[in-house]
Amino acid sequence: MNSITFYTYPSCTSCRKAKMWLKQNKVSFEERHLFKETPSVEELRELLKLTKAGTEDILAKRSQSFKSLDVDIYDLSTNELLELLTKNPKLLKRPLVTDGELLIAGYSPGDMKKLSHKNEKEHISSHVS
């Protein structure tokens, strides 16, 4: 079973809701403070592999940090954008929840259920084998 990593920021309402959901559903996870333990460029690259729309899925475009950028992100290479995200993690959607195969950006109970059920099935099959 893949472990779940929960990238969070404690004062974020969506992060608090996601954490509560994980705890209420008895889903074990490793919690990482998004601003104190910012994902590395390589970790972000791995997260991007799990997206459908690439950086569009993980960018917090409605955030004040994004709106105040003096850079057009569409002019940046992927490497430059990933470097920017590691230096300014406020540009990332919150929370980010992943088991290494599925990524949830933002709080969505429906998506959280998919992650929870997927990991329950893997847990059961690992005990049956």
CATH of the domain at 101: 3.40.30.10
53 vs 125: CA distance, rounded Å: 31
- Strand intervals (E) in 74-114: 96-98, 103-105
Residues facing 59 on adjacent strands = 92
Angle among Cα 119, 124, 125 to the nearest 5 degrees reads 100
Where is average pLDDT lowest: 16-20, 79-83, 117-121?
117-121
Residue 17 contacts by C-beta under 8 Å, 6 or more apart in sequence? 107
The pTM of the full predicted model, rounded to 2 decimals, is 0.84
Residue 90 and residue 63 in contact, taking contact as beta carbons nearer than 8 Å: yes
Domain count for the chain: 1
Which domain covers residue 70, as residue numbers?
4-125
Task: For residue range 72-113, list pLDDT tens digits in order.
Answer: 888 999 999 999 999 999 999 999 999 999 999 999 989 898
